[in-house]
A = this chain, B = another copy of it.
């Protein structure tokens, strides 16, 4: 059942010139539409058909934290659509001179179509920064500074990681056959032990914020104290209720895994630790940060049993739950002495996690496409009709 532009006809999509900052700010139709376009672009790429949609134009990325896969996914996606990529390296820029976000956002955007931002280190700051950029280019567009209003795409913030979770959803759709087939399926989004600390909350928050809308049985589990941002948890509860699904929060990895169809074991730092860390980072308090890290690692070390082991996998539905991870995973005996997942479990699902990641460039391409094209369905039809070979 290959996707076609036809499948988009029934959907009410209002993404043109919009930002994509949190999945829950977009309708179910839009989520469905993003996946359909991503699938279609992926199929065209597989078939060697060019999906170039721009003759020229600039995509800008701002990475305020290290990244490999999101960086390359973004680079791949914008290239495939025909855009050039310029990365704003804040170290090489004059931004330290006291320039405002409002000003910089306009200065880089004169010929820009899209701005992808990763900013996940500061609780309360990353998503806000993206909104500031969006507001700035909106003002610039309205006041005639910019010919076009570039879209801002969240490449991971303190709250959500939409390009990851939409890729995850596309992977689940492919694995289970359809979005409808996910209804009632149990997904265990659990904390897992990692020898590092300070991992962002964006993935678990993004997963419960997206999967609860699919009518799934979403089981969030972590050791006591490893809380997510309360608002997001609250939203997940409401969404699950509205979608006829289930959302549970527990402190038992075993409970979450029991009978699960999908498991997503992944480390994160407690919300209140990230808040403290943000405060210390802002104050530049190095000894404070070192002390916090020490405390956290000690706390983490109490929960080394939170590992995705073969024994736990056996307790899932038929012992065959789909293991997911945003990568890189902390694999026991491979990337660390003890980590999030047993080596044999990871190895069994390794290729599937690669495929999971393989949706991301096409999800990003879909987001760029849908936020930039006024008539996306017509454009897709044009791309398929012309059917230009890419090479």
Contacts and interface: CB of A to CB of B under 8 A. Distances in A.
B103 A328 contact: yes
A104 B55 contact: no
Contact of A46 (B73, B94, B98, B147): B147
B84 A67 contact: no
A154 to B, nearest CB: 18
A390 interface: yes
Contacts of A99: 68, 327-328, 335
Interface string A88-103: 1000111101111001
Interface residues of A, number: 75
B68 A95 contact: yes
A320 interface: no
Nearest to A42: B147
Nearest to A350: B103
Interface of A: 45-46, 50-58, 60, 63, 66-69, 71-73, 75-77, 79-82, 84-86, 88, 92-95, 97-100, 103-104, 106-108, 110-113, 140, 143-147, 196, 327-328, 330, 334-336, 350-351, 354-355, 357-358, 360-361, 372-373, 388-391
Contacts of A143: 351, 354
A22 to B, nearest CB: 23
A68 to B, nearest CB: 4
A100 B334 contact: yes
B67 A355 contact: no
25 contacts: A45-B147, A50-B55, A52-B55, A52-B56, A55-B388, A55-B389, A56-B80, A56-B390, A58-B79, A63-B92, A66-B93, A68-B94, A68-B108, A69-B108, A72-B86, A72-B88, A73-B110, A80-B111, A84-B85, A85-B86, A99-B335, A107-B327, A110-B357, A143-B354, A145-B358
Contacts of A80: 56-57, 111
Contact of A50 (B56, B335, B336): B56
A247 to B, nearest CB: 30
Contacts of A100: 334-335
